[in-house]
Structure 1
Amino acid sequence: MADTSDTRTPAQIEADIRRRRDVLAETLDEIGVRVHPKTIVGDAKAKVVSHVDHTVGRAYVQVNRVVSEVRAQLTDEDGAPRMERVVPVALLAVGVVGLLVVGTRRRRR
């Protein structure tokens, strides 16, 4: 059998009750803050911002990699343009822009 005798004085018991009541009040306040709609919305916003930042960072790295690869294809080791590769790409770009302009003009008529 467990010993149920309590050797604490009434003042010690009251102090223990006050201490436990204070701890319980802090816990309830903390729970209230956690379930408050503003806290929930703030947490959700923080998660979205974090995800967007991560996605944008990954996209930036990918674009940077592609630009570096294209630059490597269009320049030599010294950084000078490789005309045999730049001229066809430039002509292709001019052709695409020309087609877009012609297509836009046809739609307006």
Structure 2
Amino acid sequence: MDFGIPVRELKERITSAEFVDYMASYQLDQRGSHYDDLRAGAIASVVANVNRDTKVRREPFGALDFMHWNEYHRVAVEKSKPVLLDDPDAQSNLLLSMMFPNRNG
């Protein structure tokens, strides 16, 4: 667990009983890395939506779109199939057009 302050300073601020209560609360509420991932996903979705081409993707991104460990993302990936072309040059052009939609040429 990361309390955001050094442990020696934490020992001076709270009693051992308060610390045990906090640890129990932490486990019951399941706070921690999943919530950190959700916060990071929310920020990533804002950045992606600001730069999103609404003609290509009408639906806005959500926080879960950027949290690859979650079930929502896993199902979306399983449903999607890669686009594979026989012509290597056409495949490269397709990749470039998807990665850089505003490039000329």
Which protein shows a greater Rg? 1
| Higher RCO by CA contacts (8 Å cutoff, separation 6 or greater) | 2
Between structures 1 and 2, the one with greater helix share: 1
